[in-house]
Structure 1
Amino acid sequence: MTPPDEGEPAPGAVDATVLAELGEIELWTTTATLGRGAHDAGRERLDRLSGSLHAAERMRERAGRLAHPAYADFERQLGLDPAVPPTALEREAREVVVTGHLLSRDPSHDVQLAILAEVGVSLGALDARRTRGPWHVRPAARGERWGRRGAAVPVGEVVMADADGPVAPVVGDPPRGLGAGTRARRVVLYAIGVPGMPSWEVSEAVWRAARYLSGH
Structure 2
Amino acid sequence: MLTFTQIKSEFKPNTPIFITDLENTNLISSDALRKSFSRMAKTGEIKRFQKGIYYIPEKTIFGESSLNPADVIRRKYLSDDNNQYGVLTGLALLNKWGLTTQVPNVIEISTNNETNRKRLVQVGGQAVILRRSRTPITNENVTLIEFLETLSSIDFNNGEQLNFLRTYLKSQSFSRSLLDQVLISYPKKIYQKLVESGMINDFA
TM-score range with shorter-chain normalisation? under 0.3
Whichever structure has more helix as a proportion of its residues is 2
Task: Flag the structure with larger Rg.
Answer: 2
TM-score between the two structures when normalised by the length of structure 2: 0.23
TM-score between the two structures when normalised by the length of structure 1: 0.22
